[in-house]
A and B are shown apart, each in its own frame.
Chain A
């Protein structure tokens, strides 16, 4: 038995340290690249790899090449914790980009905190993350901001009076639902009903049938696209014709475009190619040339997050604590990191304030909504 144990230990060790001699600076990107949410991961992967290539094309960071290492955690908290352990104990890693889902982030966070490893999330929007670790930063807005924004948009621009909410039972979706409900009540929007579904359901008809009888102006779906597209189709098939649908950045996925029933659906997003500033033009062009499609917000935010990490390494070297202090020092508009998705600067929790945009599906394509909320 000793022998087996010994062999196992050696194998584990080899598998983690076999490439110890390779030179480039490693920037891991942890998110879901396979599994149900793989299409989100695709944007993250593309954005990260593009930025990595561009950094290397300009000679790397202080002459050293960058290597983007993709770490897949399937948005599963357990997998995320395992990946986090691996990264936290890897001396070649001094900063990382990740994670995607908030539950994965929450599982990984204590591990990064204990290892003093700074992490930048391009996509975790859950409210409770910021206060939990001084080593966690994100260059995306929070759910409470997004929910509030959507309620204002629904009221001021769309003029909805009666809205029903159909949310998934998860941290992201429920955070949005709560924030939206709170603001909607303030603005005088009537919330006719709130129903829930779990990720593994495909039958939404009982809840939709109930909504149909309530005759709402619109249904708010603060979930992810794989279920969102089914909900929209099934709503049409139970006979909801004159009802609008809207969601948050979780529905900002090309999966929705394949569904003709989703025509007219609008969502919030942190990045809108046609509303982005001049610095984004080069990024959009390079992205389209490389991947043959318009970048989504996951790609843009990850592109920025990798850029931010590289800038930090360039400024203070590969030292975990120094990188954290550097990131924390970007705390005002003047010191902000100028990215393709706007300026990024952090408050004392590592959260940031960013603009949100609205885009909608028109003729099977995402286009910026004519009216944005300012």
Chain B
């Protein structure tokens, strides 16, 4: 990833030096594929870009959505038991945000909602309208809180740093337990509280190499995988018994 920096900077500089009438915003990622290998401990996603003039930049990274159930505990006969629950159909599995200024200074709450900027503005609703009770906000907050605890939702927005007036750089950290799938990276250019333009870039997080092979094998040939797991376990047990008998 670090090796890609000089090339990227050169590319961005080239773009920045061009007559900038064509596009108000140009940006690209340091990598479009995050490979989860056996030694994966998380990754830094670096975004470089240039604007055609002054303005604020917001970068939003959204992970693949997954239906998620939030359950609330209540006291029943002295012990804590799961009581009410709510299903969120499209809860993102990751949400990171970075901006050049605090987001509520750049955009109005309506704009934040529309573009889903900031953890409190992610669109999270139960799938069917009749299930929409008035306690949605509490369940919503609980979902955000739980994801933040896992490091999957941004607690504090990161920084978009401007290098000069038009070049910018942003960094979003993917923790080790990120979900695989296709992520969406959006770059918003904001002027006078209005979103001038949005650029969307895909980012793929995928298992590569040994872990990917194991995962595929476990899912596509489950019975064979189970048998091999048994053989490995039994062989390990037998080896241990044999090895320690000699000592």
A and B are interacting partners: no
Q: Measuring CB to CB, which residues of chain A are less than 8 angstroms from any residue of chain B?
A: none
Q: Measuring CB to CB, which residues of chain B are less than 8 angstroms from any residue of chain A?
A: none
